Structure 1
Amino acid sequence: MTSRVLLVSPATTASLRRAAFDDGDRLDTAGAARARAAAGSLTVPAAVVTSPSVRCRETARALGLDAGDAPPELAGLDAGRWRGRTLEEVSAADPEAVARWLADPRTAAPGGESVAAVCERVAHWLDALRPAGRVVAVVEPEVVRAAAVHATGAPDAAFWRFDVPPLTCTELSGRTGRWNVRLGGPLAAA
Structure 2
Amino acid sequence: MPSKSSTTRKSDEAPPGARRRATLAVGGMICAVCVNTITDELNKRDWVSKVVVSLVTNSATVEFSGEGKAGQVLEVIEDLGYEATVDTLVNLDEEEPPIQERTVEILLNGEGILPLRPRAIQITQVVITSAISDPIRPEAPTVIRALHSRGTAVWLLSGDNPTTAAAVALQVGINTDNVIAGLLPTQKAEKIT
TM-score (norm 2): 0.26
The structure in which a higher percent of residues are strand is 2
> Which TM-score applies when normalising by structure 1?
0.26
Higher relative contact order (CA 8 A, sep 6+): 1
**Larger % of helix: which?**
1
